[in-house]
Every structure is written in C-alpha cells, then in structure tokens.
Amino acid sequence: MGAVIAELVKVLRRVPFLSEKTRGAILALVLVFGFSLITYFVLDVIRISLGLIALVVASAILLKTTFALQTLKRFAEPIAQSLENQDLESARKDLQKIVGRKTQGLDEAHVVSGAVESVAEGIVDGITSPLFYYALLGVPGSVGFRAINTLDSMVAYRTEEFLDLGWMSAKLDTLANYIPARLSALLIVVSSFMLGEDWKGSLRILRRDHGRTASVNAGWPMSAMAGALNIQLEKVGNYALGDNIGNRSFDHVRRSIRIAKVSSYFFIAAILLPLLAVTSSFLKFW
C-alpha cells in the first residue's frame, strides 16, 4: 500500500489543472476503494475456482495482515526493557520508531508517556478498527480500513507539502476510527477493572480529558489509559491527560501492554463475535 501511495502521489502531481485538494480526494478514494474491490474480487475468484476451504484460508491470511495483537508488545516492550536497564538513550531510539515527535532529549517520564500513548492509540489503529470493519464488511472492509490508516500515516500531515493533499485521508481516518476509538476507551475501563488497575480513575479521566487532544479520537483511549495507570500522559505543547505528573516508570509501559491485550481479547469476545453473528444473520435474511 505504501509503495502504491507513493507512486500515485507522483502521478497525480503531474496531472495539470487539478487542485491539491482534488488530488488528495482522488488519492484517498482510489486507494481505499481500489484495495477493497481488489480484495473482494480476488476472494470471489478463489471461492469460485478453488472452493470454500481455500476461501477460508485466503481470507484468514489477508485478514491477519490488517491487524496485529502482538505488535504493541513487540514495539513497546524494548522501551520498557531499556528503561529498566537505565539505558535512556536506547529507550529514546526505540520510542522514535513508533511516534512522530522528536525523542532526542526527552526525559524518562516523557519517554514513558510516549510509549503508553502509543500503546493506547495502537489498540484502535492496530486491533479494534480493522476487526470492527471486518465484522461489518468482511475482509474487504478490514483491508479498506488498513488503506485509510496507511494513507493517514503517509500523507495526512499539517505541513505545507501535505496539508491539502492529505485532507481527505485525514477526514476518512477520523471517520473510520470514530466508533472504534470510543469502544476501545470503554474496553480499557473494563480491562482496568479486571486487572485490578484504577478503573474508577480511568472512567473519571476519560470523561474529563478525552477532548483535550487535537484529534477527536486519540484522546479517548489515551485518557482512559492515563486514568487506569494513575499517571499523566503529556506531549509537551499539545496536551496533558491525567493528574499524576510524577512516578512514571517502565512498569507503566508494561501495565499498559497488559491492559491493551485484555482490551483486545475482550473486544473479540464481546463485540466482534456478536457483530459477526448479526451481520451473518442479516446476509442470510437477504
């Protein structure tokens, strides 16, 4: 997807008489509908030519590329490990792999904050959103969401180069994550209760701070996580979520990973499977 996006941007910018916003709309719509339709037709051909078993296997393989239950731990655990070893410089380098902000010069508390924020947001982008659209629209829906998310990560920046080109991608990402972000926040509260974390604090901070980020979605899972861990998550100059500004340590990163895992499993059991049952019944009815 990334390679296609990069090439399509080059092609669109060579087309005369189009505004940057028009190019951005074409880019987003072609990518999302293109990948979704290709997925649909590929799976349909497999079903017709190879049968049901082959369809199930191919669908499972394609679906697995759109979400990752273990990715959060794979990227966040090295940060916790480096901090536990008192290797702040390595922790900063590991954090740089998963955040857009500059990590050079960050103190330990803000490295922890960045890692926990990424874990909280990753629940939505990496797990609940793609599975939510799988439940509604099948594998093509999950692939379509991944296209939106990839576009957002590549062109939806508030810079002179991408401000107009990425506007549609940013709007689609906001819209696509709207429901999953709020579901994820509530699941963090429930998971906090199940793990013995501060679920009351999670709910309180969620209600108070979810609107403090520029993104209408990001503040929901991050504020719920801040309250659950009883810490403050801060991106200097942008937002501060939660009350406790001290005592941020590597242990908070690991606890956030545990909350994320339980939230993900709870989403599958309590939301994904019932949604699949409803959509399957609806399709049979028609």
Beta bridge partners of 233: 241
Element containing residue 285 per DSSP (H, E): helix 273-285
Assigned token pair, 141: 């829906």
Between CA 116 and CA 73 the distance in angstroms is: 11
* Residue 58, token pair as written in the block: 């191919």
pLDDT the model gives residue 80: 94
Where are the extended beta strands (E) located within the chain? 233-235, 239-241
| Per-residue model confidence (pLDDT) at position 181 | 97
Please report the pLDDT score of residue 100 as a whole number. Answer: 80
Residue by residue, DSSP assigns 124-166 as: IIIIIHHHHHHHHHHHHHHHHHHHHHHHHHHH--SSTTTTTTT
* Whole-number pLDDT of residue 170: 93
Amino acid 229: pLDDT: 96
In Å, how far are 164, 176, 182, 210 from 150, measured between CA atoms?
A: 17, 12, 21, 24
Classify 235 as helix, strand or coil.
strand
Q: What are phi and psi of 235, to 5 degrees?
A: -110, 105
Cα(111)–Cα(83) distance, rounded to whole angstroms? 9
pTM, two decimal places: 0.92
Q: pLDDT truncated to tens, each residue of the chain (286 aa)?
A: 999 999 999 999 898 888 999 999 999 999 999 999 999 999 999 999 999 999 999 999 999 989 887 777 888 999 999 999 999 999 999 999 888 888 898 999 999 999 999 999 999 999 999 999 999 999 999 999 999 999 998 988 877 788 889 899 999 999 999 999 999 999 999 999 999 999 999 999 999 999 999 999 999 999 999 999 999 999 988 999 999 777 888 999 999 999 999 999 999 999 999 998 888 776 655 5
pLDDT at 262: 96
Q: Which amino acid is at 269?
A: A
Using an 8 Å Cβ cutoff, are 233 and 119 in contact? no
Tokens of 250: 């590597």
